[in-house]
């Protein structure tokens, strides 16, 4: 089962959804904004990818955070709290399969991982 996490109006999420649709792969789309996010999902992601990959430090949400809050994000625990409180800080999309977590969209990586 493939689960794609993100928000529907994000251009990168749209590219990933289009790629999955064109590849004929079934997936469930989990909208952060409507369905929220639980700590178990984030914990599962962190077993596969580092928190530094999940927190989008290039995005407007990160840049809008106070400097004190940015400095406080120093480990997986503090990053998890931030991601749960503000899902917009998560790099999108997050694609999960039974054994993989892919962050962001890269068509070559999707091809390699999902069509293998």
List active site positions. Answer: 10
- 68 vs 28: CA distance, rounded Å: 36
- Dihedral (C-alpha) 1, 59, 70, 92: value to the nearest 10 degrees? 0
Token pair 């178990």: residue:
40
The DSSP element (H or E) to which 3 belongs, if any, is strand 3-6
The DSSP element (H or E) to which 29 belongs, if any, is strand 28-31
């Amino acid at each position: 089962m493939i689960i794609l996490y993100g928000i529907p109006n994000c251009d990168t999420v749209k590219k990933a959804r289009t790629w999955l649709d064109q590849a004929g792969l079934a997936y469930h789309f989990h909208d952060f904004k409507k369905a929220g996010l639980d700590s178990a999902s984030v914990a599962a992601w962190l077993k596969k990818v580092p928190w530094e990959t999940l927190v989008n430090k290039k995005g407007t949400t990160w840049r809008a955070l106070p400097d004190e809050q940015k400095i406080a994000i120093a480990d997986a625990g503090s990053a998890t709290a931030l991601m749960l409180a503000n899902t917009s800080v998560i790099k999108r999309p997050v694609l999960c399969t039974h054994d993989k977590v892919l962050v962001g969209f890269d068509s070559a990586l999707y091809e390699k991982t999902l069509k293998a």
